[in-house]
Structure 1
Amino acid sequence: MTNEFLSKEEEIVDTLKTIFDPEIPVNIYDLGLIYEVNVDDDGKVRIVMTLTSPNCPVAESMPEEVFEKVSALDGISHVDLNLTFDPPWTKDMLSDEALLELGLL
């Protein structure tokens, strides 16, 4: 993978860090809701994400926000967003930053 595409992945991660779960004051990336971010040579992005639960009140709006924000980035030609609940999200997926923010570290 070239540095150009690594920086594109970092740009996507930075964008994902601007999206917050409305019930938890932590961004979705540090919450561990993003399982995979891949960018190919043509600017096609594949994101695999989950929600804190299948009954999450933002089950429709949050993936839509992820899709729209990532699609709007320069150099992105297509976004394939997959929502999964396997493996199910647990508190163990929180980043150290999230644990600190929530007072759990």
Structure 2
Amino acid sequence: MPTQDDVLNVLKEVEDPEIGVNVVDLGLVYTVDVQGDGGVNVEMTLTAPGCPMHDTIARAAEMAIETLPDVKEAHVKMVWNPPWTPDRLTDEGRRLLGF
């Protein structure tokens, strides 16, 4: 079974198309729950609640997770609480955005 780190690593391939930085370094991923039955559940957010790309980004994240060995199904749930802030950026995210 993949680990949480494995899931986060493949999620680094999923970019917010408006910002051009991956969802992990933007700090958009809140929880990763790897199930013993091959399921992976992720809770994540976006930088703005009204973002029209939320379905596209969620599906891209699910597809990336499902490339991992032993993952049968991934579910990404968008949550809006707590709201995203720039404080959630990783050091790499700050570097990529020029902060």
TM-score normalised to structure 1 length: 0.84
* Root mean square deviation, CA, Å: 1.5
Larger Rg: 1
1:93 is the counterpart of 2:93: no
1:64 is the counterpart of 2:76: no
Which residue in the other structure is 1:17 paired with? 12
What's the % identity of the aligned pairs?
36
| Structure 2 unmatched ranges of 5 or more | none
Letter paired with 2:42 = I
Q: Is the partner of 2:23 in helix, strand or coil?
A: coil
Relative contact order higher in (CA < 8 Å, ≥ 6 apart): 2
Length, aligned pairs only: 99
Q: Is the 8 A contact 2:16 2:23 kept in 1?
A: yes
Higher share in strand: 2
Deviation by residue 1:47-86 (Cα, 9 ceiling, x = unmatched): 0001111211312210011112212321012223211000
For residues 76 and 33 of structure 2, the distance between their equivalents in structure 1, rounded to whole angstroms, comes to 11
TM-score normalised to structure 2 length: 0.89
1:26 is the counterpart of 2:21: yes
Q: Where does structure 1 differ by over 6 angstroms across 4 or more consecutive aligned residues?
A: none
